[in-house]
A = this chain, B = another copy of it.
Amino acid sequence: MPVHPATLFSIATGSPEPIYRQLVEQVRRMCASGQLRPGDGMPSVRDIAQALALNPMTVSKAYSLLEMEGVLARRRGLGMVVADAAPAAPGDRAELLRPTLERAALEARQLELDPDTVLSLFATILKEST
């Protein structure tokens, strides 16, 4: 039985990032990190939509994209499950964070900031955002 949707997802409605994309990326990360495993059942579109106060179509769009990516699979008439051919943790989970960190490093260089200054700031942010 799936986890309660409202505890599974956290949506920032004010974010510039579209809601359906926030959902897609959270599911992708949860699969990659092993919080969701192949065969696990996902909450129904309607449950998620109600729990997060979204339109079902928005949730459905996220599910459709995840199905096209091969992250989820449809069991017709039964709902979505995590796909068997799971794009699971590829060796090192931390590598999934590399693109984001590389972008940050690029900006830091463009600002001509000292690496130690940047690392110190990042450490603060990482710990305060518990």
Contacts and interface: CB of A to CB of B under 8 A. Distances in A.
A55 B103 CA distance: 25
Contacts of A101: 104, 118, 121-122, 125
Contacts of A105: 122, 125-126, 129
Tallying the copies of this chain within the complex gives: 4
What DSSP secondary structure best describes chain A's contact surface?
helix
A26 B18 CA distance: 24
Interface residues of A, number: 44
Contact of A118 (B26, B97, B108, B117): B97
A9 to B, nearest CB: 10
A98 B113 contact: no
Given A18-B76, A76-B18, A76-B19, A111 B97 contact: yes
